[in-house]
C-alpha cells in the first residue's frame, strides 16, 4: 500500500491520464479520489461516471450533455459529466464496459479536449484530468477486439495496478486495525484488538472480495462482538467456515512443505501441538477473565502446570 501511495503522490500533480486496474474491491475508486485530492485540482470538482451502470444509449448524453430538443424528453439542455468536471477530474469507472461507438468519441475528447453536446452545434473546450478504472483484464478486451487499442494506449499513460489482497497479505493486519478503529467510532464500540487465532485465520484467508469484503467482515464482527476482543466466532458464519476450510488446506500444504524441506516430523507435530494448546488456553483464559486458578481448574491442570505452559508458549496474561 505504501508503494501505491508513493506512486499516487508522484503522479498526482501531472495532468496525465491514469488507468487503474485491479479486482473488485481492491480500492480503485479510493485511489482515484486520492489522486484528485493530491493534485492541484483538489478544490475543483471530482466527477464520477460508472459506465457499467448507465444504459448504453444514455452514456453519450451523460458524458457530453445535450441541448434542448436533442431527443424526445430533452425539454431542457443539460451539461454532461465532462463539462461538470471542467478544471477538475473525471473518473470513468468500469471503462471496459464502454460501448464501441462511445470509445471513438471518448478518444476524440482525450486527443482534442473538445466535444459537442448531443444535438449541439457549438464545440466546447474543456480541461479535464481523466482517471479510468476497470476490474476486467483490459489487455484481453483489446486482444478480443472489444476495446479499442488506440484508446487503451491513451488511457494507460500512467498505469496503476492494485493487487488482490491475497497477494499483499502484509497489508491485511494494518487494514484490520484500521477498520476496527473506524467501526468502533461509527458503531460506538470499544473493541481493542482481535485474538491471535482470529488474526491468523484472517491472514491466510483468500479474500475473493478483497478490501471491501474485509471491511464488511470487520463491520459485522465489531457490531456482533460481546467482548472487547474479536474472536473467530464473531465472524460471519460463511466467512468463518470458508476461513476454517481454507486455512486447513493451507496448513496441510505448509506441513508438507516443511516436511519436504527436511524438518523433522517430531518438530512439525510439536509446533502444531503448541499452536492448538495456545489456542485453547487463550480462549479459556478469556472466558475466565484471565483468572489463572479458574482457568487451570477448567482445563484440568494444576495452577503450577498452567503457569509453566503459559511460559513455554509465551502467553502473557493481564
Ligand X SMILES: Nc1ncnc2c1ncn2[C@@H]1O[C@H](COP(=O)(O)OP(=O)(O)OP(=O)(O)O)[C@@H](O)[C@H]1O
Q: Interface residues for Mg ion in 16-75 (CB under 5 A)?
A: 29
270: helix, strand or coil = helix
SS3 25: coil
Instruction: Give whichever of 51 and 285 is closer to ligand X, judged by the CB atom.
Output: 51
Shorter beta-carbon distance to ligand X: residue 62 or 83: 62
Q: What are the helix (H) ranges across 113-169? A: 138-143, 149-155
Which listed option, Mg ion, ligand X, none, makes contact with residue 135 (CB within 5 to 8 Å by class)?
Answer: ligand X
Least separation in angstroms between residue 81's CB and Mg ion is: 16
Q: What is the CA radius of gyration of the chain?
A: 27
Residues that bind ligand X (CB under 6 A): 1, 22, 24-30, 135, 175, 178, 211-212, 215
Shortest separation between residue 23's beta carbon and ligand X, angstroms: 7
Least separation in angstroms between residue 28's CB and Mg ion is 5
Whose Cβ is closer to Mg ion: residue 29's or residue 219's? 29
Complex with ligand X: residue 172 or 175, whichever CB lies closer: 175
User: DSSP E strands: which ranges in the chain?
Assistant: 18-22, 46-50, 65-66, 78-79, 89-93, 114-116, 123-125, 129-134, 158-162, 193-194, 229-230
Would you state the cell numbers that stand for residue 3, as one nine-digit string? 508503494
Distance (Å, whole) CA 129 – CA 85: 8
Instruction: Give the binding-site size for Mg ion (rule: CB under 5 A).
Output: 1
Integer Cα distance of 278 and 199 in angstroms = 14
Contact of residue 24 among Mg ion, ligand X, none (CB under 5-8 Å per partner type) = ligand X
Q: Which of the listed partners (Mg ion, ligand X, none) does 89 bind, with a CB threshold of 5 to 8 Å by partner kind?
A: none
Using an 8 Å Cβ cutoff, are 186 and 146 in contact?
Answer: no
Which residue is closest to Mg ion by CB?
29
Residue 17, binding choice from Mg ion, ligand X, none, Cβ under 5 to 8 Å by partner class? none
For ligand X, give the closer residue by CB, 67 or 215: 215
Residue nearest to ligand X (CB): 27
**Nearest approach, Cβ of residue 206 and ligand X (Å):** 17
Q: Any residues with CB less than 8 A from the CB of 182 and at least 6 apart, and which?
A: none
The minimum distance between CB 230 and ligand X, in angstroms, equals 18
What is the distance between the terminal CA atoms of the chain, rounded to a whole angstrom?
A: 34
Furthest CA-CA distance within the chain: 90
Binding residues vs Mg ion (CB under 5 A)? 29
Amino acid at each position: 500500500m505504501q508503494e501505491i501511495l508513493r506512486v499516487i503522490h508522484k503522479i498526482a500533480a501531472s495532468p496525465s491520464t491514469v488507468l487503474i486496474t485491479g479486482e473488485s474491491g481492491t480500492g480503485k475508486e479510493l485511489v482515484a479520489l486520492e489522486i484528485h485530492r493530491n493534485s492541484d485540482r483538489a478544490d475543483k470538482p471530482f466527477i464520477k461516471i460508472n459506465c457499467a451502470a448507465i444504459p448504453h444509449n444514455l452514456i453519450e448524453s451523460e458524458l457530453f450533455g445535450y441541448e434542448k430538443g436533442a431527443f424526445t424528453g430533452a425539454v431542457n439542455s443539460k451539461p454532461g459529466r465532462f463539462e461538470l468536471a471542467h478544471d477538475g477530474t473525471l473518473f470513468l469507472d468500469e471503462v471496459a464496459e464502454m460501448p464501441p461507438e462511445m470509445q471513438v468519441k471518448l478518444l476524440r475528447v482525450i486527443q482534442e479536449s473538445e466535444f459537442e453536446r448531443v444535438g449541439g452545434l457549438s464545440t466546447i473546450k474543456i480541461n479535464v484530468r481523466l482517471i479510468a478504472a476497470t476490474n476486467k483484464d483490459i489487455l484481453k478486451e483489446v486482444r478480443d477486439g472489444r476495446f479499442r487499442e488506440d484508446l487503451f494506449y491513451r488511457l494507460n499513460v500512467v498505469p496503476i495496478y492494485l493487487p488482490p489482497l491475497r497477494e499483499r497479505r502484509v497489508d491485511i493486519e494494518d487494514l484490520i486495525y484500521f477498520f476496527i478503529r473506524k467501526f468502533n467510532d461509527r458503531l460506538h464500540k470499544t473493541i481493542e484488538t482481535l485474538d491471535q487465532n482470529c488474526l491468523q485465520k484472517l491472514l491466510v484467508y483468500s479474500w475473493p472480495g478483497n478490501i471491501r469484503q474485509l471491511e464488511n467482515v470487520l463491520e459485522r464482527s465489531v457490531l456482533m462482538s460481546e467482548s472487547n476482543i474479536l474472536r473467530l466466532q464473531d465472524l460471519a458464519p460463511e466467512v468463518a467456515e470458508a476461513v476454517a476450510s481454507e486455512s486447513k488446506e493451507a496448513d496441510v500444504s505448509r506441513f508438507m512443505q516443511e516436511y519436504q524441506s527436511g524438518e523433522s516430523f517430531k518438530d512439525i507435530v510439536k509446533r502444531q501441538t503448541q499452536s492448538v494448546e495456545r489456542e485453547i488456553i487463550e480462549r479459556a483464559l478469556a472466558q475466565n477473565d484471565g483468572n489463572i486458578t479458574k482457568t487451570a481448574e477448567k482445563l484440568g491442570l494444576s495452577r503450577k502446570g498452567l503457569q509453566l505452559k503459559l511460559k513455554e508458549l509465551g502467553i502473557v496474561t493481564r
